[in-house]
Chain A
């Protein structure tokens, strides 16, 4: 597609349930990022994939959070046993290569708004 596509755009879930958020990056982009944006807050880095290298998971807030990426395509962010503090917009982004060391522009999707009730 022309841009980064995310689904669902909105998700309401009960506390304790697991959720999966999907990201389809721009075709040809080897780098893929997940960020979290809580209401009134800035962007919080979660995880970053670069090609077939081991992902940088340094931003994941707890072991309830995990992400996978199949090759250089779709990624899924999974949150297990959701808590109310997980409520946020989850933004996926992609770039031709990693931004660090290249200055490549990161292109963002419109986000998945997660509400945990």
Chain B
């Protein structure tokens, strides 16, 4: 079975500062990795995903994430945040090969990013 750990439940940061939201996963098989964002009172939307190829993945709104297989991590980064980036961010995983494994995404508990002026 797969699991996702987001070590930081809350991350406060000042506007224009860089930010890193940490995500580690556990799986006995190869995985696909995702980051979703949930703005206040809205549904989740996809920021970016890693399927294969380059380990550095660029997403919407200037976010990027790097897949590190040896450290089983998929940390999300942005070099300069805006007030509008205030939201909750969820890391998720699913298996590379279906083969009877779960078809759904397994989510972490989320990290609340709070950007202050």
Interface set of A (CB-CB < 8 Å, partner B): 4, 31, 33, 35, 41-43, 45, 48, 50, 56, 58-59, 91, 93, 98-103, 105-111
Contact = CB atoms under 8 A, between A and B. Distances in A.
A41 B109 contact: yes
A42 B101 contact: no
Interface stretch (B14-22, B41-49, B74-82): B41-49
A101 B44 contact: no
Main secondary structure of the interface of B (DSSP, over half): loop
Given A100-B94, A105-B49, A56 B109 contact: no
Given A33-B104, A110-B42, A110-B43, A100 B95 contact: yes
A107 B36 CA distance: 10
A45 B43 contact: no
Given A42-B90, A91-B44, A101 B108 contact: no
B107 A98 contact: no
Contacts of B36: 108
A33 B32 CA distance: 18
A101 B43 contact: no
A63 to B, nearest CB: 20
Nearest to B32: A103
Given A42-B107, A42-B110, A100 B102 contact: yes
Contact of B43 (A42, A100, A111): A111
Contacts of A105: 34, 46, 49
B13 interface: no
Contacts of A106: 46, 104-105
A50 B90 contact: no
B104 A101 contact: no
Nearest to A99: B94
Interface string B80-117: 00000000001000111111011111111110000000
Given A45-B104, A106-B105, A111-B43, A101 B49 contact: no
